[in-house]
Structures are given as C-alpha cells and as structure tokens.
Amino acid sequence: MSAIAELQSLSKTKGRKAPAKDNKAAHIFLIPWTIGLFLVTLGPMAMSLYLAFTDYNLLQSPEFTGFANIERMLDDQRLHNSLRVTFTYVLVGVPLQLAVALGVAILLDRGMRGLSFYRSVFYLPSMLGSSVAIAVLWKQIFGTTGLVNQMLDLIGIQGIGWISDPNTSLGSLILLNVWTFGSPMVIFLAGLRQVPAMYYEAASIDGASKWRQFRSITLPMISPIIFFNLVLQIIGAFQNFTQAFIVSNGSGGPADSTMFFTLYLYQQGFKQFDMGYASAMAWLLVLIVGAFTAVNFFVSKYWVFYDD
C-alpha cells in the first residue's frame, strides 16, 4: 500500500488504542525521529508561522506587523504572476508527464524483449533531471543557437530563442518535466503488473476492443496508482526550483516568465533577506499544496477504486 493509500485508510478507521506494551523500547528507537520532528520540522513550522506576521531581516529582531505581509501579498503583482507561472506548470506539466508515463508503461509489456533496456533508458532522465547539469543542458538545447534550432535549421526552419522568449520559456521547462516521466512510469509498470491477466482474457472472449479493455479494466484497476502519482507529482511540481533558477540565472526571466513561486520565495528570503515576507509566502505554498492534496483526496472517492 502506498503512503497515500495508507493515509486514506487511516483517516477512515476510528482510533483504537494500541496495547502499548513496548513504550520504553519505542521511546528509545524513536529518539532521533522525535528530536527531528520537534527541532527540525514542527518547531521551525511554528516559528515560520510567527515570522509570517513579522518584519524580519535577520539582523534586527522580528517586529510584529500583524497582517501586513498578507496585505502585501494581495497587492504584489510579481507574486500573482509567480502563482500563475507555477499553476500553469503544475496543471499542464503534471498531466502531460503522467499521460506519457502511463502510455509508455502500457507499451512495455511484461516479458517483452528488451524490457529492462527500455525501462533503464526511460528511467534515467528522471534520476538525473533535478541536477544543475541537466538545467544547463536544457538552457543550451533551447537557446537561440541551441540543439533544437540546429535541428530545425537542417530542415530549413528558422527557430526562435525558446528560453529567451517569454512565450516559450515556460513551455521548455514543462517539456523538461515531461522528459523526466521515468519514475511515475516505473510505478505504473508495477501497478499494471497487479492487474490479473484473466480479466483481459475474459474481456477478449466477450469481444471487447483494446480501447474498451483499457477503459473498463486497466484504468479502474490502476486508479489508486494514478492517484498516488498525481498527488506526489503535483506536490513535487509546486516545489520546482533548480531548473527555473539555472535557466534564468536566478532571475526568473525573461519578463518573469519562469519566476516560479519558490524562486520568488528564495529571492525574497535569501537575496532581500525579507524573512517575514518569505515565511508568509511559504505558508501560502503550504496552504495551496494542502488544498490541492485535500481536493485530490476528496475527488478520489469518485474515481479511485480499491478492490479490498
């Protein structure tokens, strides 16, 4: 069961008290985790919530300003733009990436020739993808004299500066996200393997077309996995930073077209040292990611099927 399925089932069952016979041993085993939870996660979360209502530049102590940061967020056009950019990236990039991942996973039949070769080649980019080197590569590929334009030149088409044109720069980053479809693909592959072959056999005997089998057997059977990938990829996509940073030299340009929310947060917090505002932004991000996840969980009741 995935972490997400586990969360779903936990939220359904009513709390039953554990027998609690290993309290002492458990405390010992959980010492690092408990310290980490309070010192590295919950503590900073509480402090960040407080800082969100302050003006703080790291040198002077935080000054409580009430809702000033929130009012500023409401008026901040660059922030609104960064939300637009990020939403576009999430809402276009994630479905596209998952569709490709699922499509390729379905093409890769169990026991087919060269399966492990194909899987490796498709999986590799998603392992390399988050590093600076790949962003550097992308910057060149979609540059004015880059690989894409060289190829277009061969067939006589005059390319444009994909990265330097605000209309296409975000598109190139979405494409980079699609390119890293390998890890959701691996999860789809494992999921497809769980669908009993007899369902397909029975359906073929009944004369169901391949498309019909896909719609009526494959999709419902792997819906928990689609859901899992969807939730995780959305959460991940909201936090994309490296690629936007490298491709735009940290500026979010051209014309703020790659100013992702996290990049703007970094600029405010760690370039301007406007820590109060950055904290308020971080909480907005948590609320947005949380809302997306909650909606996902809620809607999942209508399209995700668990057979147990």
Query: How is 266-281 classified by DSSP, letter by letter?
Result: HIIIIIS--HHHHHHH
- Contacts of another protein in 152-191 (CB under 8 A): 154, 179, 183, 186-187, 189-191
For another protein, the closer of residues 148 and 217 by Cβ is: 148
Give dist(CA 298, CA 252) in Å, integer: 34
Q: Residue holding tokens 């007899």?
A: 198
Structure tokens at 117: 């070769």
Query: Looking at residue 15, what DSSP letter applies?
Result: P
Among the residues of 55-168, which ranges form H helices?
Answer: 68-75, 77-88, 94-107, 115-128, 132-141, 147-154
Q: x/- string (CB under 8 A) for another protein, residues 253-292?
A: ---------x--xx--xx----x--xx-xxx-xx--x---
Tell whether residue 233 is a contact of another protein (CB under 8 A): no
Coil, strand, or helix at residue 91? helix
For another protein, the closer of residues 170 and 278 by Cβ is: 278
- Contacts of another protein in 207-226 (CB under 8 A): 224-225
Coil, strand, or helix at residue 181? coil
Tell whether residue 294 is a contact of another protein (CB under 8 A): no
Half-sphere exposure in the Cβ direction for 157 (13 Å, CA)? 8
Coil, strand, or helix at residue 64? strand
Tell whether residue 296 is a contact of another protein (CB under 8 A): no
For another protein, the closer of residues 135 and 170 by Cβ is: 135
As measured in angstroms, the least distance from the Cβ of 145 to another protein is: 4
Q: What is the dihedral of CA 18, 21, 25, 29, to 10 degrees?
A: -10
As measured in angstroms, the least distance from the Cβ of 55 to another protein is: 13
For another protein, the closer of residues 181 and 256 by Cβ is: 181
The answer to whether the CB of 170 falls within 8 A of the CB of 257 is yes
As measured in angstroms, the least distance from the Cβ of 240 to another protein is: 10
- Contacts of another protein in 62-101 (CB under 8 A): none
- Contacts of another protein in 9-48 (CB under 8 A): 10, 15, 18-23, 25-33, 35-37, 39-41, 43-45, 47-48
As measured in angstroms, the least distance from the Cβ of 121 to another protein is: 4
- Contacts of another protein in 96-155 (CB under 8 A): 104, 107-108, 113-114, 117-125, 127-128, 130-134, 136-138, 140-141, 145-147, 150-151, 154
Burial of 242 (0-12, 13-18, 19+ CB in 10 A): middle
For another protein, the closer of residues 170 and 187 by Cβ is: 187
As measured in angstroms, the least distance from the Cβ of 122 to another protein is: 6
